[in-house]
Amino acid sequence: MIKEIIVVEGKDDTAAIKRAVEAETIETGGSAINEAVYRKIELAMERRGVIIFTDPDHAGERLRKLITARVPGCKHAFLTQEEALSKGDIGVENANPETIRKALSQVKTDFRLEGTVQEAEITWEDLMDAGLIVHPQAAARRLEVGNCLGIGYANGKQFYNRCKMFRISREEFAEAISHLKDEGEA
């Protein structure tokens, strides 16, 4: 049984999670999250902890960002778009049980604390040097590196923030970037 409560978008996501692991979920009802759901998530965070596991699409990322802003310290599980794709639909409900278990075994913790400033190991310049921003293939490169790091796809600013939020080390970053170089993309 997973100790934390997993926040998902809908009932089909809950069904997919329960096929993969023994866990409890809170469903947001999609990206239009309301005050009652926020209160449930806050209570879950206080009592057991929370893992945010939303779809790897724009709506899921928006929801992840809203919850993270309101409830600091959540953990995050990510799927790639390929892992969540079925018949043109992207969603947690499409992932197979093994993929869901893998994502939950690689949960990332949001280390930002209210009132504290964390010094980031990865700098904006590191992102530029790696071709993750201000580069013709920056978006594709961020997608690949984000998947390698287990932090999902994000635009440049969000990618930088995720590196800070999850305390991505220089070693982890270099290892992920090396995969790009191995494929002749650097």
Check residue 185 and give its pLDDT: 45
Q: Which residue has the higher pLDDT, 165 or 133?
A: 133
pLDDT tens digits, 31-72:
789 999 999 999 999 999 999 999 999 999 999 999 999 999
Distance (Å, whole) CA 175 – CA 124: 18
Integer angstrom CA distances of residue 180 from 15, 80, 133, 174, 184: 36, 17, 14, 10, 7
Q: According to the model, what pLDDT value does residue 120 have?
A: 65
Domain ranges across the chain:
5-109, 124-182
Q: What value does the mean pLDDT take over residues 92-99? A: 97
Span 140-154, mean pLDDT?
93
| 5-109 CATH pick, 3.40.1360.10, 1.10.3720.10, 3.90.650.10, 3.60.15.10 | 3.40.1360.10
Q: What percentage of the chain exceeds 70 in pLDDT?
A: 92
pTM: 0.82
Report which of 140, 150, 144, 141 is spatially closest to residue 109, judged by C-alpha positions. 150
When pLDDT is averaged across residues 151-158 and rounded to a whole number, the result is 92
Q: What are the phi and psi torsion angles at 42 (to 5°)? A: -60, -45
Q: Could you give the angle at which helices 138-149 and 156-165 cross, rounded to 10 degrees?
A: 20
% of the chain at pLDDT higher than 90: 82
